[in-house]
Structure 1
Amino acid sequence: MNKYSDSYDDEDDQPQKKSGGSFIINFLLKLSILGLGLALCGVLLAAMALSLAWPNLPELTAMTDYRPRVPLRIYSADKVMIGEFGEERRNVLHFAEIPDVMKAAVLSAEDDRFYQHGGIDWAGVLRAGLTNLMSMQKTQGASTITMQVARNFYLSSEKTYSRKFYELLLTFKIEASLTKDQILELYLNQIYLGNRAYGFAAASRAYLGKNLADVTPAEAALLAGIPKAPSRFNPIANKPRAVIRQRYVLGRMHNLGYLTDTEYKTALDQPIVVKSAEGTPAGGYAVHAEYIAELARQLMVSSYPDNVYSRGLNVYTTIVAKDQEAAYESLREGVIDYTRRAPYPGPEDTVEVPPGIENNPAKFDEFLDGVLEKHPDRTDMLTGVVLSAKPEEVRVARSSSDIVSIKDKKALGIIQRALNPRAAADQRLQRGSVVHLHKTVDGFEILNPPTVQAAFIAMTPQDGAIRAMVGGFDFYHGNFNRVTQAWRQPGSSFKPFIYSASIEKGLTPMTLISDQPFELSAAQTGSKPWSPKNYGNQYEDMLTMRDALAKSKNMVSIRILQLIGPQYAQEYVTRFGFDKSRHPAYLPMALGAGEVTPLQLASAYSVFANGGYRITPYLIDRVTDANGQVLMQAKPVIAGDSANRTVDGRTIYIIDDLLRNNATVGTAAKARQILKRNDISGKTGTTNESFDAWFAGYMPQLVGIAWMGFDKPKSLGSGETGGGAALPIWAGYMMSALKNYPEVPRAPAPDGVIAEGGNLYLREFPPGQTVTRVGLDGPQGQIGVPMPPVSGQDSLGDFLNNLGSSNSPYRAGQ
């Protein structure tokens, strides 16, 4: 054997060795043949599979006749969405309605060659494969928009070869059946984007609080970044990661020519503001109408119990969006103002802040995250931790990069006693105090989340349409609707109904009545003595009914009720819609000792505003199905129909004159001073020890009721009255709402009303022929009849006891 030979003679002992080049060529040739054979087999198998699978592919009717599960939607009268309820939230738009910037952002983020490929982007597949091979992990995918549409419409998310195979087949079928624009329209409308939002229109409302047509390039890029990982890249779950993804999408839009250099820089500089209302079905509504949306939802569930959340019903309420927002803002400001006036109770909690942790941003943010998790933000009330507290400055941290310095003297005045080193430990502000920040026009102030509550309702007295409703300070921390559910004592706001009853019994605005204090003995009450008081313990000798109502005198109201009879008054007030059982026939009824809801009081005052007609409040104007077909249309009772008259129009005219006088020189005068109108009528109301503060005011076109108090009744404070606490809420709303209503001149007095000396009289009770004086000894100089024990309960005294009274339960009365 030649030692340099390349082969062996004995083939049985050793394999013949060939040259390296020929070996490689032969190997590649055989490999190619094998690959070709496998490919042919694959093609044959694929053809067989295709012939079996293609006929079983679903029809595309779910796409061509796209009818998603559309939720229940609630709108204002001017078609602003205020609520959405259902497992899925969608808002299907036609292709032309979707802004180009949104389309560009999606194409840049998900499939920039969408209009070039046939459903599968082979170049993208190769690029993703090489990238993943080099990184030894799956860092890129190659799903096109068409593939995602196929997956989302028909397939589960399980990762199996059979599912992937069907996805490819469906992709080909979709591309063969629909245009590119149709496919992209489907994707933009049905892709899941986190927080139960399906489609970019729903996501725009959920995360940005705006219509999709109004998004900027920066906002479009933010939304377009979500499909990659909806649970991780949505700005509510993780805003920092969402912004990182957004900047990547903006870069792609810039590189692909969708954004100029200037547009790109502007988009990068635009801060992202997430307007997601905590707990709302869709989040980020432009109008705060949570109580209305919830009430409408309840009404719809009772009316349409089957599939109410998925059949696409549209509910159009009677509220006006702009005015509703004004009511919300006014109520919250009224509650905040009261909270500013009340003594600051001290921080919510105190935590140990490690020394020097501010110098380590990562650890500091981790520490603050823990505090905020335990003490989350409230609506417009942001949680922070005090870093330092001095009489001239308080520094509060929300994050390592968000530290608020409070130096404003007015803001510091609110917490002045908490900055005193000698303050009690639980009231003192110091390093580690957990506080809440409230934004003002001048900066921030420290306020605890309010514990006091308020409610507001406005309606049109002609038909009862509710124009605005706010059931409390914060819907998301207890959705109890105080407008419809809270039964409270109306206080002096109830007096006009007693006066109305007295007019029909023969008293007049000029009747003089004693304002002197008195006491009913235990023998007269049947239980214990009762000594009612005027507000501020101020008394006068004799007052006309006109002046007594303007000054809200309790002694006069009680004497009026004693004269006309509590049983008569109890029956009479039912004409205004009050529940007889909630207004027992006892003298304290004259001071508003019964129970009403704000909605009921608004309905009752509507009788004064519309001339004597009982109307029924209503909230839902109409309901349509998903195709716009009207399913229900409200048919409200209209004032002016004689069948609906409940009180003599002449009596109403006289009472309205008294209430206009009250808004001019009486306890409600501030209302006219603020609004600078002459067609305003109103009455304040303050119950015993200021447990409840009311203002009931109206003009011919609109009635409004404002209330403030604690859910668990306790005093608002000795100086708090309906005029100071509730009237500003009412006036704040009316300043906005009345811009749409010109001032209405007073109508002429109806037939049967006599005008003399600036006062009004019923024809059957003319001046000089009526009760003109009710003194200490009763009307017309007669001795007043002592109050005997009354029926219905054991005695008046027992009634007082049941209301928790001790000695003099009904004093306040403004």
Structure 2
Amino acid sequence: MVRIKPLIVFSIRLFFLLFILAAIGVLVIWFTIVPSLPSVESLRDVQLQVPLRIYSADDKLMAEIGEQRRRPVELEDMPERLKLAFLSAEDDRFYKHPGVDWRGTLRAVWLYSLSMGQGRVPGGSTITQQVARRFFLSTDYSVTRKLREMLLAFKVERELSKDEILELYLNKEFLGHRAYGVAAAAQVYYGKTLDELTLAEMAMIAGLPKAPSRDNPISGPAAAMGRRDWILGRMLELGHITEAEHAEAVAQPNTASYHGPVVELDSPWVAEMVRQDVVDRVGSDVAYNNGLVAYSTVRSKLQEAANRVVQEGLLEYDRRHGWRGPEDRVSAEELDDPEALSERLDAMRPIAGLLPAVVMSVDEEAAQFRLADGTGFELTLEAMAWARPFLERSAVGAAPETPGDVLEAGDIVRLRQVDGDWRLAQIPEAEAALVSMKAETGEVLALVGGLDFAHSQFNRATQSRRQPGSAFKPFIYSAALDDGYTPASRVNDAPVVVNDPSMERAWKPTNFSHRFFGPTRLREAMVNSRNLVSVRLLMDMGVDYGRDYVTRFGFERSELPNGPSMALGSASITPLSLTAAYATFANGGYRIEPHYLYSIRDTDGEPIYEAEWALPCRNCPDIPPPNPPAVAEPVEQTPEAPELRRPGLAGEESEDGGEQADSAEPELMGPPRPRRAEQVLSPQTAWLIDSMMSDVIRRGTGRRALALGRDDLAGKTGTTNEQRDTWFAGFGGGVVTVVWVGMDSNESLGRQEQGGRTALPLWVDFMRTALEGRPEVDRPVPVGISRALINPETGLRARPGTPGAIQEWFHSDNLPPLESGAEDSEQADPYSIY
């Protein structure tokens, strides 16, 4: 008894000592750690880092840009078994503990003490603790950090419900390969949405939080499969799945592979333009992390058509100029090594649908090929009949007679599929740009900046300044009409030597045909693209007047040459700016600005930016219109002049192929903050230029466009010296489109290439899609335009019944004099330049 009493006293004293130490510890924690804990109230309004997403006007994903791929999903929209898989793997008592699981904590403490504090030990952290650590704490491994984590977990549990905590966890957790959250992981590893995942795939994703790199089904498949099967076993043990479901899931192989963002519309040049615009407006940190959504103006159907047209057009041009030889070669030793061949071909990415392939053997009948994936097949001479040897840009050799005339074993070449059949191809040397927009609003409907964005990210539609050649002439003719000329005015198409200040030597311009045609009416000069007429026009009006006038179309005066060469399009401009300038003719004289961005919206769908658009507003007071103007009604033309029918402005195409007004577009589209556009050209002058360019298509250099079978088209070809640049710019149905084809090196495309042969076919193929479902709408003759008979030989008004007289249109206050007689006609013609 005597021995027991001191033991009891010692125990009581030890208890009180431990109690005092514990109290001191609690006080220390309370006064030092607890006050430093962050407030968890912010978790209610937490904004997860979500990448920028860019969509087309019809809601097709064009790009997803950001360091972290995340797609937040509400808990109620997640599959139940996916949640159970995570709970089984990470915290099966999640809905029972108060934020800290004492069982796991004591187990972790025991293991830590056994390791003498020499490293990490498994177990202990609940899902709540992981949420607290992910949002507020560092990943440093220390007792202090663990204590802060536990205390913070209690605070989180007091502020948020269990479901709110689990939702944050499943959307926040890093799951490898830049995927944050379960929805992003489902896309990255399986290319699926959450509701499409199988049980095995859910378990695989649930196994990632512990070690996203080690247990990764792509970079660590063996460890990932082991982790997956363990989680399936836990789900069976906890009664979440049946024996049969467990057996079926365990038997499934690893099907994970990397899936990039699901881009629904290939429009990389527009996406990059929008990305840069968003970054400029809100900053890169906000742009890439705050889940912003940017809506562009492009229409998916037209963008897809533009992509196809540019690629096919460049390939067609390339075939005309012959076979330049293989892209590379492999040695005989490599040819016998399948792995080496695969590595070599894998290093050459596909470009514009052209796949790299190696020639395995060649005989008199066919050539044997192998692709990077090991697929082999043969091509006969028919698949390479176009491959005449390239001699120079304007000459090719004889047509091949056998495959051996084109290929040798070991050649690395490009192949493309056409209607399911493989064809020999090569990466085109030429490049192209296509821009299409609505003439009334400036909305960019489609834009292509080159052959393939992966091949070259240089945007030739917006960054490349090239000479437009004769496509610039309508602006000179417009200046002439406002300076007193008429479509019937005659200008002498004859040689001229010019001292041009913008050139280093005397300049002697010529026509493309190197022929001269004498006095020519302006309409005919436009139709046949007579260069000397344009030069004499500008010289007579004055270069300064011409430069000042042309700026009203949106061109900078500083980019316009200070000499007569400007008349032939020697200015350096972008396809985008030329498209906007042509829209002025198409919309009746209003200067519009090109727009490719509708709006930027936050995660709640609220707009944080909406573009201000200048829209034509005819016959309205000086207030901004609430919507784009109504479409002009067609006007029935008189039978006397059917050739002078004018195009009108059609509305947007509806889903059933009919026409709908702009206001019927989805609410998402706006119109964003419209304001009144400046009218820079009289309706009368715009109508006359439109009329003259319509004749370019009906009977001039743009005749290929007649293949569209429409009467509402107008446009102009353009070709520069030595065929370095070829253009076609035109419009119809309210859509204005410009196509440029040329070499980045500014070399010649070849003597036979010109706007009507090289660029116009691409324009026609694109406009066939763009105008589908759009009815022909005639633009009515504006007040102030009169029609009169003229003598085509003199340009003077003719009396009714005069043989050979034709109809012409004029400004009502600028009719030519009445022809009085043959001997007086030259003296009475003040509208001719000789």
Alpha-carbon separation, structure 2, partners of 1:216 and 1:663: 59
Q: What is the aligned-residue identity percentage? A: 35
Are positions 1:670 and 2:708 aligned together? no
C-alpha displacement at 1:375, in angstroms? Answer: 3.8
Partners of 2:821 and 2:575 lie apart in 1 by: 35
**1:610-662 CA distance string (max 9 Å, x none):** 10111222333333344444333322111136871111110111111122222
Q: 2:565 is matched with which residue: 553, 575, 588? A: 588
Work out the CA distance in 1 between the residues paired with 2:284 and 2:145: 34
Q: How far apart are the structure 1 equivalents of 2:685 and 2:820?
A: 17
Is the Cα contact below 8 Å between 2:295 and 2:599 reproduced in 1?
yes
In the alignment, structure 1 residue 714 sits paired with structure 2 residue 757: no
CA pair 769-397 structure 1, distance change in 2 beyond 3 A: same
Q: Which residue of 1 aligns with 2:323?
A: 344
Greater helix share, structure number: 1
Quick check: 2:302–2:446 contact (8 Å CA) kept in 1?
A: yes
Q: Spell out the pairing of 1:19-418 with structure 2 (5 A cutoff).
A: 56=34, 60-61=40-41, 63-98=43-78, 110=89, 149=131, 151-158=133-140, 181-203=163-185, 230-231=212-213, 276=260, 283-305=261-283, 307-309=285-287, 310-354=289-333, 357-358=336-337, 364-365=338-339, 367-368=340-341, 370-372=343-345, 375-378=348-351, 380-390=353-363, 392-399=365-372, 402-407=374-379, 409-415=381-387, 417=389
Is the 1:209–1:285 Cα contact (8 Å) retained in structure 2?
Answer: no
Could you tell me which runs of 5 or more consecutive residues in structure 2 were left unpaired when the two chains were aligned: 1-16, 111-119, 391-396, 620-676, 789-805
Pick closer, same or farther for the CA change 1:355–1:82 going to 2, 3 Å: closer
Question: Aligned in 2, Cα 1:751/1:435: closer, same or farther, shift over 3 Å?
Answer: same
Q: How far, CA to CA, are the matches of 2:405 and 2:827 in structure 1?
A: 55
SS in 2 for 1:599: helix
How many residues in Structure 1 have an aligned counterpart in Structure 2?
Answer: 717
For normalisation by structure 2, the TM-score amounts to 0.71
Query: Quick check: 1:752 aligned with 2:784?
Result: yes
Distance in 2 of aligned mates of 1:340 and 1:259 = 63
Q: CA deviation at 1:217?
A: 8.0
Secondary structure, aligned partner of 2:49? coil
- CA distance 1:771–1:437, shift in 2 (3 Å): farther
* Distance verdict in 2 for CA 1:736–1:355, change over 3 Å: closer
Q: In structure 2, how many angstroms separate the alpha carbons of the residues matched to 1:614 and 1:397?
A: 55
Q: CA deviation at 1:602?
A: 1.1
> For residue 412 of structure 2, what is the aligned residue in structure 1?
434
Deviation, 1:753, is 0.6
Indicate if the aligned counterparts of 2:726 and 2:759 stay in contact, CA closer than 8 A: yes
CA-to-aligned-CA distance 1:751-773 (integer Å, 9 cap, x gap): 11112344311112225459999
The answer as to 2:689 corresponding to 1:680 is: no
Does the 8 Å contact 1:326/1:733 carry over to 2?
yes
Q: Among 478, 483, 491, which residue is 1:505 paired with?
A: 483
Distance in 2, matches of 1:329 and 1:258, equals: 51
Q: What residue number does 2:116 align with?
A: none
d(CA) in 2 for partners of 1:63 and 1:525? 65
* Change in 2 beyond 3 A, CA 1:116/1:581: closer
Aligned CA RMSD, in angstroms, stands at: 5.2
Residue 557 (structure 1) aligned with residue 534 (structure 2): yes
**TM-score, normalized by length of structure 1?**
0.72
Match of 2:762 among 713, 726, 729: 729
After superposition, give the CA deviation of every residue in 1:262-319 in whole Å (9 maximum; x if it has no partner): x979x9799888653xxxxxx4422223222322333333333484334444433333
- SS of 1:637's equivalent? strand
* Contact 1:752 1:763 (C-alpha < 8 Å) held by counterparts: yes
Deviates further, 446-455 or 45-54:
45-54
Secondary structure of the equivalent of 2:180?
Answer: coil
Pair 1:664–1:783, CA change in 2 (3 A): closer
Change (3 A) 1:211 1:465: farther
In structure 2, C-alpha distance between the alignment counterparts of 1:705 and 1:461, rounded to whole Å: 12
Aligned to 1:496: 474
Deviates more, 1:92-101 or 1:459-468: 92-101
Q: Indicate conservation of the 8 Å contact 1:254/1:260, yes or no.
A: no
1: CA distance, partners of 2:828 / 2:81: 80
In structure 1, distance between residues paired with 2:758 and 2:135:
56
**In structure 2, how many angstroms separate the alpha carbons of the residues matched to 1:234 and 1:670?**
57
The question of whether the paired residues in 1 share the 8 Å contact of 2:501 and 2:563 is answered with no
The residue identity in structure 2 corresponding to 1:662 is: V
Per the alignment, residue 702 of structure 1 pairs with 735
Question: Deviation at 1:405?
Answer: 1.8
Determine the structure 1 residue equivalent to 2:641.
none
Quote how far apart the aligned CAs of 1:715 are. 1.2
2:608 corresponds to 1:631: yes
Equivalents in 2 of 1:772, 1:269: separation in Å? 96
What is the one-letter code of the residue matched to 1:693? T
1:488 Cα deviation after fit: 0.6
Query: Deviation of residue 390 (structure 1)?
Result: 4.3
User: Structure 1 stretches of 5 or more lacking a match?
Assistant: 1-40, 130-137, 277-282, 359-363, 786-814
- What CA distance in whole angstroms lies between the structure 2 residues aligned with 1:391 and 1:173? 81
Alpha-carbon distance between aligned partners in 1 of 2:482 and 2:427, rounded to the nearest angstrom: 48
Q: Distance in 1 between matches of 2:319 and 2:220?
A: 33
Change in 2 beyond 3 A, CA 1:395/1:145:
farther
Q: Which amino acid aligns with 2:735?
A: L
Range 138-147 or range 382-391, more displaced = 138-147
CA separation of 1:473/1:625 partners in 2, compared to 1, >3 Å: closer, same or farther?
same
For 1:320 and 1:621, locate their aligned partners in 2 and report how far apart those are by CA, in whole Å.
12
Structure 1 counterpart of 2:473, one-letter code: K
Rounded to whole Å, the distance in 1 between the matches of 2:211 and 2:415 is: 33
SS at match of 2:360: strand
Distance 1:411 1:247 in 2: 49
Whether the aligned pair in 2 keeps the contact of 1:73 and 1:85 (CA below 8 Å) is yes
Partner-residue secondary structure (3-state), 1:324: helix
Query: Contact between 2:389 and 2:398, CA under 8 Å: does it hold in 1?
Result: yes
Q: In structure 1, what is the equivalent of residue 439 of structure 2?
A: 461
Give the partner amino acid of 1:701. Answer: G
Q: Distance in 2 between matches of 1:293 and 1:371?
A: 31
**Separation of aligned partners in 1, 2:361 and 2:125:** 53
Question: Which AA in structure 2 matches 1:696?
Answer: A
Query: Structure 1's 383 and 780: CA in aligned 2 closer, same or farther, altered over 3 A?
Result: same
Does structure 1 retain, via aligned residues, the 8 Å contact 2:388–2:399? no
Shift of 1:496: 1.4
Q: What CA distance in whole angstroms lies between the structure 2 residues aligned with 1:226 and 1:379?
A: 36
Cα distance 1:566–1:408, how it changes in 2: closer, same or farther (>3 A)? farther
Tell me which moved more, 95-104 or 81-90: 95-104
Q: AA paired with 1:671?
A: A
Aligned partner of 1:801 in structure 2 is none
